Structure 1
Amino acid sequence: MSPPHRDEGDAGAEQAFATPGVAPMGRPTLWNRALMRVVAAVERLNVARAKLGNRTVYDTALFPWARDLEREWPAIRAELDAVLADRERLPAFQDILADVRTITRDDAWKVFPLGGYGVVSSRNIARCPRTWRAVRRIPGFRSATFSIFEPGKHLPPHRGAYNGVLRLHLGLVVPRERDKVAIRVGDAVRHWEEGRVLIFDDAYEHEAWNHSQEIRVVLFVDFVKPLRFPANIVNRLLLSLAVFTPFVREGAENLQEWERRHYPRP
């Protein structure tokens, strides 16, 4: 029997707005400066109008659909196992999203993207149809990828690009040395569990590490943060424009290039 879902909330940390992290870096254009000012203003509105408060880590009982995703764990794990058979050819995260070079430059954080923010990998989805169907049922779904930490990987403190989404990790492969594998969000430190969901706000400073001798894999999902009016409307409008940003456009081009190399046409 699974242990009960605990109250994971930690309201002690504070969000910083438009701070460095996984955000467009090194692009000193008027468009990007203006965009970041808009994002910072909307982030403040999102904090003020959050339906479930502004916690670092959320009690999954607040999201009843999380249980449904956990029930899909065996099927998702089976599809992942097939993907991992070709693990050495998977791209490093910065090979897809160049801006994450601000926090990672080695090949120890690999990803297998399915899609999100207006961009999909139809070939990757064809390999993981049960996973794709499961994540598409998440209310406010925005993106999904398999995220692989190689042994020894440590992701330094950083924050996400925007607080209008929450992040979900479904533990898929967790090393036996569980105490050596964790994520810190604000002051809250959590360990992944296979078949269990972890939901947190990556707009808070966070870091993650795998100091074990085995790989760690999670299903990495973004979904829309529950907000009250008018933040919910403004947030969805801003997220709908994400596909037009350099951050997403370049990621789509890099993903297409990786697909051309990985799935050569006959």
Structure 2
Amino acid sequence: MEQLNRRYSLHGDHPFIEPSDFAWTRQLALHTEAIQKELDALLPQVERLPNFQDISPDQAMLTTDAGWKTFFFRGYGVECEGNRRKCPNTAKALELVPGMSTAFFSILAPGKVLPPHRGPYNGVLRYHLGLRIPASDDTCAIRVDNEQRSWGEGESLVFDDTYQHEAWNRTPHWRIVLFVDFLRPLPLIPRLLNNAMMAIIRATPFVRVAARNQARWEASFYG
């Protein structure tokens, strides 16, 4: 299936894809300030936000400490209603993303490094909107395949996470992006097959366990 997705991808098969290829990225970036305000309201409680591996245990291969915090709005199609109510402007802005599968605030602590890895399935592409970026140089960056990029606040990146990639924040400040996975644009028949594969993935323990953990965390957080 991955070979089929690469062959028929409407935006080619590249580590990074130009954000301007997707009209919605410009529209979503216009909401940066409103999203930042909701994010900033959360940050006094950042230590209470869940570590990624606490929501998705499979992430323990990448992180086992408190250096990668999350605040989910959707995970493989499962809505996170409490968080959406907490950040209504962010939730509204995310409606601009066609085929959105997953969305959350991805929060890297000072000094946090994510080792080289690849995503599980290339039926989605990944989008980052820079929200709080302490540096736009080698100290805070992402490498996908052989290409390295940095984030900027209010700026977008789109990439294929099934290329080997790594990210790091070697600064004394938090690095925060809006992290979105969306369905890879494909012609009709490959798109239908991809939709079927995504439905299968949503039914796996990988997703069901994460959904339960997220619901349990929201119940505790909102009391």
Normalised TM-score (structure 1): 0.81
The structure with the largest strand share of the pair is 2
- Please tell me the residue identity of whatever aligns with 1:214: H
8 Å contact 2:100–2:181 — kept in the other structure?
Answer: yes
Match of 1:129 in 2: 88
The letter of the residue matching 1:118 is: G
Residue of 196, 201, 212 corresponding to 1:242: 201
- Alpha-carbon distance in structure 1 between the residues aligned to 2:120 and 2:136: 31
The runs of at least 4 aligned residues of structure 1 exceeding 6 Å deviation read none
- How many residues align? The count is 223
The correspondence of residues 8-87 of structure 1 with structure 2, limited to 5 A, is 42-87=1-46
> Which residue identity lines up with residue 76 of structure 1 in the other structure?
I
**Which one-letter code corresponds to 2:93 in the other structure?**
A
TM superposition shift of 1:177? 6.5
Q: CA deviation at 1:229?
A: 3.6
Task: List gaps (5 residues or longer) in structure 1.
Answer: 1-41
| Distance in 2 (alpha carbons) for counterparts of 1:136 and 1:116 | 14
1:101 match: secondary structure: helix
SS where residue 187 of structure 2 aligns? coil
Distance between the aligned counterparts of 2:135 and 2:126, measured in 1?
24
Residue 260 (structure 1) aligns with: 219
Distance between the aligned counterparts of 2:170 and 2:17, measured in 1?
25
1:1-266 mapped onto 2 (5 Å cutoff): 42-176=1-135, 178-264=137-223
Return the offset for 1:236: 1.1
1:188-219 Cα deviation digits (max 9, x unpaired): 10000000111000010000000011110000
One-letter code of the match for 1:246?
Answer: P
RMSD: 1.1
In 2, the alpha carbon distance for the partners of 1:199 and 1:50 equals 14
Q: Residue 66 of structure 1 aligns to a residue in which SS?
A: helix
Deviations 1:104-143 (A, max 9, x none): 1111000011113231211110011111111122111111
Q: How far apart, CA to CA, are the structure 2 residues paired with 1:44 and 1:67?
A: 30
Q: 1:50 to 1:176 in 2, by over 3 A?
A: closer
Q: 1:181, CA displacement in angstroms?
A: 0.1
Q: Which is greater in Rg?
A: 1
Q: Which moved more, 1:92-101 or 1:116-125?
A: 116-125
Separation (CA, whole Å) in 2 of partners of 1:217 and 1:176: 11
Deviation at 1:262, TM superposition (A): 1.2
Residue type at the aligned position of 1:106: D
1:62, distance to aligned residue in structure 2 (A): 0.6
Gaps of 5+ in 2: none
